[in-house]
């Protein structure tokens, strides 16, 4: 076996693969693990023992490698984490796999062939920046340089699901700073060819950023659907980014875009001059849905909190229906040129609480006034007036249906106070009323005319969902009839 190894490595690897190994060959294989300076030799022998544990002689391997037997048992029996990194020179580039083991005890060796810079990882563990006891790593191919270090650190800090889509390149010092490396263009090309996204010092500058953006269980994402031009919308994105940074100082929209291969345009939809045509409105809602699906599919965090602001109330109802109540949201209200988070719907409890109905809502209202005129009809006009514009006169002149329910603010009309409990009260009572109208008065369909803050309309759409037959109308100042039916919420589906 030794002669074959020295003469032809390809044949040697084939013998290992085909299990053409005799018991008397095992001491030599143990010697390869302890003395070879070739990473691929080490990997192929390790792989043979891993797949054929009946051949493992822990005492012999410990003797040739100087690695404690307890550590060897973990290496040969535990499943490793796989992390990828590119290597490149002026002429060539390749992808190497690091097989990383998180050990249950300290080890004085961290690889069969100790690599330059590996002690930096050990220092980060000692300083508590990598919360494990120790590690061991095996590479499937040989390489030179220290750009592999970020891949090893990522393998120790990040989830398997994240690691499978990425490759990492960058030297890491003992402080956890990520140092720039060469041949980035060639490395990125090699990663693209393998379907991997490359994370380099251009995306993250230290391991704290690595864990914040790629290792955390939650991520905050701004999303805007505004009746503004591109410049104003991107300024609005910056404003909401600053609000997020108040509680999460490391947050950066630019880094989020780079790491997850997104564009700034993925985080907003312009809604200027929406024509009074149903197909235009449905197309707009589909654009919103498509962009949200791209965001959710691009990020790998178990919980994504969408920080969302909208600016057309009727459209916001539809967006709310599409979003549903299964995910996490912070809803913003625009007032005096600033954005204010008015509804934190970032826990299942906070969302469900809005759907708690008040059975005696017709007799007792704390937040809204209800004016009802219901004739013998299965369809009514539902007029929601919680903003400065009073829609009643235009609705009366527009519709032939004399059955209506008019909802207004019990407090006063105009800007609503930025009080979350107050907003929750309005929403809960409106939702309760819709349910009572359907159950007690057997109302089968509603024509919704809405004058309220877009943030409230968005939340109303979320909690109503597509379970009610509701036609939504939008106000057009320049139309003779003033109102136009833009969609029915039963036509909308939520993929979220």
For 216-240, the pLDDT digits (tens) are: 999 999 999 999 999 999 999 999 9
**For residues 84 and 98, is the Cβ–Cβ distance under 8 A?**
yes
Which residues make beta-bridge pairs with 84? Answer: 97, 167
Provide mean pLDDT across the span 71-91: 95
Q: What is the pLDDT of residue 466?
A: 92
Which residues make beta-bridge pairs with 351? Answer: none
Best CA proximity match to 411, nearest among 348, 365, 375, 462: 365
pLDDT at 412 over 80: no
**For residues 408 and 426, is the Cβ–Cβ distance under 8 A?**
no
Rg (CA), the chain: 31
Nearest-angstrom CA–CA distance, 319 and 332: 14
pLDDT at 481 over 80: yes
Whole-number percent of the chain with pLDDT over 90 = 89
Helical spans, DSSP H, in 97-166: 118-126, 149-157, 160-163
Helical spans, DSSP H, in 8-136: 9-17, 26-35, 39-51, 58-65, 69-77, 118-126
pLDDT at 413 over 70: no
Nearest-angstrom CA–CA distance, 203 and 66: 38
> Which residue shows structure tokens 């059955």?
403
Nearest-angstrom CA–CA distance, 227 and 316: 12
Q: Is the pTM of this model over 0.75?
A: yes
Nearest-angstrom CA–CA distance, 483 and 496: 30
In this structure, what token pair is assigned to residue 70? 């307890």
**For residues 62 and 95, is the Cβ–Cβ distance under 8 A?**
no
DSSP secondary structure code for residue 441 in this structure: S
Task: Residue count of the chain, please give it.
Answer: 496
Q: What is the pLDDT of residue 414?
A: 66
What mean pLDDT, rounded, does the chain reach?
94
CA distances 304 to 218, 268, 298, Å, are: 6, 16, 11
pLDDT in tens, 44-62: 999 999 999 999 999 999 9
């Amino acid at each position: 076996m030794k002669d074959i190894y020295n003469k032809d490595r390809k044949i040697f690897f084939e013998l290992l693969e085909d299990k053409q190994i005799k018991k008397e060959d095992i001491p030599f294989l143990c010697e390869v693990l302890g003395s070879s300076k070739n990473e691929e030799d080490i990997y192929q022998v390790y792989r043979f023992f891993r797949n054929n544990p009946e051949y493992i002689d822990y005492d012999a391997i410990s003797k040739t490698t100087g690695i404690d037997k307890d550590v060897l048992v973990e290496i040969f029996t535990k499943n490793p984490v796989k992390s990828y990194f590119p290597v490149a020179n002026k002429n060539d580039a390749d992808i190497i796999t690091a097989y990383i083991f998180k050990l249950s005890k300290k080890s004085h060796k961290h690889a069969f062939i100790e690599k330059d810079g590996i002690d930096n990882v050990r220092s980060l563990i000692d300083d508590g920046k990598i919360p494990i006891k120790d590690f061991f790593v095996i590479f499937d191919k040989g390489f030179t340089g220290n750009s592999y270090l970020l891949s090893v650190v990522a393998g120790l800090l990040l989830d398997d699901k994240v690691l499978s889509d990425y490759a990492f390149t960058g030297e890491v010092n003992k402080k956890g700073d990520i140092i720039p490396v060469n041949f980035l263009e060639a490395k990125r090309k090699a990663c693209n060819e393998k379907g991997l996204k490359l994370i380099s010092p251009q995306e993250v500058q230290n391991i704290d950023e690595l864990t914040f953006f790629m290792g955390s269980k939650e991520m905050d994402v701004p999303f805007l659907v505004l009746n503004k031009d591109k410049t104003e919308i991107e300024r609005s994105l910056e404003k909401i980014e600053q609000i997020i940074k108040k509680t999460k100082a490391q947050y950066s929209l630019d880094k989020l875009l780079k790491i997850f291969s997104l564009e700034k345009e993925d985080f907003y939809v312009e809604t200027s001059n929406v024509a009074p045509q149903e197909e235009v409105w449905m197309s707009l809602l589909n654009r919103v849905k498509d962009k949200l699906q791209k965001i959710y599919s691009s990020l790998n965090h178990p919980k994504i909190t969408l920080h969302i602001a909208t600016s057309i109330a009727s459209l916001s109802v539809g967006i709310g229906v599409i979003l549903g109540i299964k995910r996490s949201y912070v809803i913003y209200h625009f007032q005096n040129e600033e954005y204010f988070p008015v509804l934190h719907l970032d826990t299942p409890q906070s969302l469900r609480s809005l759907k708690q109905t008040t059975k005696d809502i017709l007799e007792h209202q704390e937040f809204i006034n209800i004016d009802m005129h219901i004739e013998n009809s299965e369809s009514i006009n539902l007029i929601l007036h919680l903003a400065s514009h009073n829609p009643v006169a235009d609705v009366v002149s527009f519709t032939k249906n004399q059955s209506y329910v008019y909802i207004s603010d019990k407090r006063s009309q105009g800007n609503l106070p930025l009080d979350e409990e107050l907003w929750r009260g309005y929403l809960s009572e409106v939702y309760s009323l819709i349910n009572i109208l359907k159950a007690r008065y057997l109302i089968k369909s509603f024509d919704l005319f809405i004058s309220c803050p877009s943030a409230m309309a968005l939340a109303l759409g979320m909690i109503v969902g597509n379970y009610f037959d509701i036609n939504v109308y939008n106000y057009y100042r320049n139309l003779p009839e003033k109102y136009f039916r833009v969609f029915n919420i039963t036509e909308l589906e939520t993929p979220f």
